[in-house]
A and B are shown apart, each in its own frame.
Chain A
């Protein structure tokens, strides 16, 4: 196990380095610069700005500076927000995205698994049909549409909840709902289908024959095996939701991390692109790593270290 973890750790570092390098060269190969704007482009002004951000240096010098900045995790000032360093932006944005993401994931996991399990237990019954109808709608309605509808109903028409911004707990409810619906639907469907499969297995019949209570059978025996596919998608889902979702954050004016990803690319804000990409990829790689570890806990048949040894 320990060997596996160490190996995986070095793999993670290598992956991040490759991503970082690719990002750097892709970014510089895209035409345009942070200072291309419609209004001014006085050559003197441009030269002063380039010097300030060290963009007048040759590409390889910039690349090594950049590697250094990854190693020290200090990405310097943002170009579009000269008062702020990339670190400040990430430190400010990430906790907010994380908080929203965490709540969203909890809501999605709890309601998704519950719905999916109920649907499987009442296969082809009313609960099953309504749960799956909800799931189909949840998957097919994009969250930005849902967000706008939620604001219109709850905030504008019924005046129950604040429409947007990030100031109190009440402000969290609508974005959480908008964000959680999709993942809830996905988890519900996955749980339902694998649950149906598991419920037909011999060991479940065996458990029933032994006279165990239905609740115990479902919770202890069936659900545990049925959750494997859910755990598989959790890694990417977590990384995606926790690091910010641009559209929802934009609609609800949530000062999270999502907008830095998207806006920095539109603005060619090089330090922010690099900082946020490295951060995001590190997070994603770490989440995938966690999922692999969790597999081992949930399904004892998967022996991580032996698998490594075989290969």
Chain B
């Protein structure tokens, strides 16, 4: 009996020791990378010293980046980093316009189809190699290779031969991209595209150092093997914990880069991140929704437009939304102002059309302003439209309406607000249905919902990107709505080379979409963040990626 007791004691002791050893290892492994943050954690005085000596910006990425292979990392957690450790031919400037970056000169042929990029002679990789036209050819072909299975490849379908290669019908040699010489890169498009220079600011169009990637296909998985060409270089990457950038002395425009280091934590919980911000362990953080109201007037709050919107889809094959007037009636009974002021309370702009703010036309005017409000709260019109619609369909009683949303507190609040509005204005008792996120997306695509929430974020900065979602059969349509006139408008827009005419067509498309109302808009997205005093120059674009090139911290 005594023996067993001794055995238990020894076992316990062994476990304690095991835990301690595990402890030491865990401490050691990230030791090299964690040094700065441990210093900051320890004492205020020490962290100030560090800042005085060198400028270290403390950011939070929320999560482990999906991948630093620019063809694979197709989401915000990858882009925030990639956009700063690599650079494409063009880059967005402070006014959100695509300007020359790795390319110093861009020639566009008269028909708008052929782009000739001249790459800067002093554009270099972080290992000192020159950036060549061949690196771009290599990277773009890597993205389009069906075996890479890049989620970004569709963005390159504007390029001749790209789609055919990506879906397996064509050959890699038929893609119309070419390195004419070391520094000249030529691309031929299928049709003229005003947005092309903007599209290629997306990290999936960044170059890949061919020499490095051929020698080691896993070059992008660790900091030690990663080679980039951006304002910063990847110094360390402690997976799932943090990564760190240092200034890239080989960058062609290194003089304007002010920060010495950027430390990225990966804290997924917004409340914790906010507490770290309060404890000076982060310089920038998001706004936790629970306390958004309290922080509304904070000096540290920063609100940026984001090109995208929250909207609802009708299923135009399900009664009663087969009828246009009934769709309109529901849309006109929604009060967008009320939703942003009392439900979301995050300072968003109410949406009265489908195309977001931030697109300036050839006349120098804001697209949204010239088109004006296409749908807004109008109880009388809503009631009248419902009556007319019901008469057209011969309903004495409206078929049951169900509002479906994916599980989330914010979606639920909005759905409840809509439900009460439909009851108040139209006298319709709509039911609410809450569905788990993954199930929701797949069933929405199978047209199983009568009326369901949705959102859209631009892939590139052009109104057509939002509008083309609703052409017949598009995977982004998800309403079963099909309109020949609309399809033609979108295809005309894509082939129009005259910018004034194209802009007119875009306006017509936005109006037609809001007239037919297969969807109704609620609000345009924004991004809110808190920034410590002294932090400046961080660029956030309505469509685009966090840019730290000009960031500073004092």
B-contacting residues of A (Cβ < 8 Å)? 30-33, 35-45, 47-49, 51-52, 80-84, 92-93, 95-96, 98-99, 102-103, 106, 148, 151-152, 155-156, 159, 162-172, 224, 250-253, 255, 259, 266-268, 294, 297-298, 300
Contacts and interface: CB of A to CB of B under 8 A. Distances in A.
Nearest to A220: B5
A36 B406 CA distance: 13
Nearest to A95: B22
Contacts of A42: 153-154, 475
14 contacts: A38-B457, A44-B153, A48-B148, A49-B151, A83-B72, A95-B25, A99-B22, A155-B275, A159-B44, A163-B276, A165-B37, A171-B41, A266-B437, A268-B438
A3 B221 CA distance: 48
B201 interface: no
B547 interface: no
B171 interface: no
Contact of B149 (A51, A81, A253): A51
Given A81-B66, A169-B23, A266 B281 contact: no
Contacts of A103: 19
A41 B64 contact: no
Interface centre among A92, A164, A298 (most CB of B within 10 A): A164
A55 B1 CA distance: 56
Interface centre among B64, B240, B439, B445 (most CB of A within 10 A): B240
Given A31-B443, A164-B276, 5 more contacts: A37-B441, A162-B279, A165-B242, A165-B267, A167-B34
A135 to B, nearest CB: 23
**Nearest 6 pairs between A and B by C-beta?**
A32-B438, A255-B240, A52-B149, A36-B441, A253-B267, A102-B19
B275 A163 contact: yes
Nearest to A224: B5
A297 B44 CA distance: 52
B268 interface: yes
Contacts of A253: 265-269, 272
B34 A168 contact: yes
A41 B469 CA distance: 11
A106 B15 contact: yes
Given A102-B19, A168-B27, A83 B221 contact: yes
Contact of A33 (B16, B268, B442): B442
B67 A155 contact: no
Contacts of B26: 95-96, 99, 166
- Interface magnitude class on chain B: 35 or more
A148 B271 contact: yes
Contacts of A148: 271-272, 275
B399 interface: no
Contacts of A80: 66
Contacts of B25: 95
B30 interface: yes
A155 B278 CA distance: 9
B480 to A, nearest CB: 16
B441 A92 contact: no
A166 B242 CA distance: 9
Contacts of A98: 22
A44 B146 CA distance: 9
Contacts of A164: 267, 269, 272, 275-276, 281
Given A42-B154, A83-B67, A252-B272, A167 B442 contact: no
B455 interface: yes
B281 A92 contact: no
Contact of A167 (B37, B147, B163, B456): B37
A153 B269 CA distance: 18
B24 to A, nearest CB: 9
A43 B477 CA distance: 13
A103 B439 CA distance: 38
B239 interface: yes
Contacts of A294: 8
Interface in B8-29: 8, 15-16, 18-19, 22-23, 25-27
A48 B275 contact: no
B19 A163 contact: no
B438 A162 contact: no
A250 B22 contact: no
B342 interface: no
A81 to B, nearest CB: 6
A51 B445 CA distance: 20
Interface in B421-466: 437-443, 445, 454-457, 459
Contacts of B267: 164-165, 253
Given A38-B441, A151-B272, A164-B275, A255 B154 contact: no
B35 to A, nearest CB: 9
A99 B457 CA distance: 41
B438 A267 contact: yes
Contacts of B276: 155, 163-165
B419 interface: no
B154 A32 contact: no
Contacts of A259: 268
A49 B154 CA distance: 13
B241 A250 contact: no
Contacts of B239: 84, 92, 255
B275 A152 contact: yes
Contacts of A81: 64, 66-67
B19 A31 contact: no
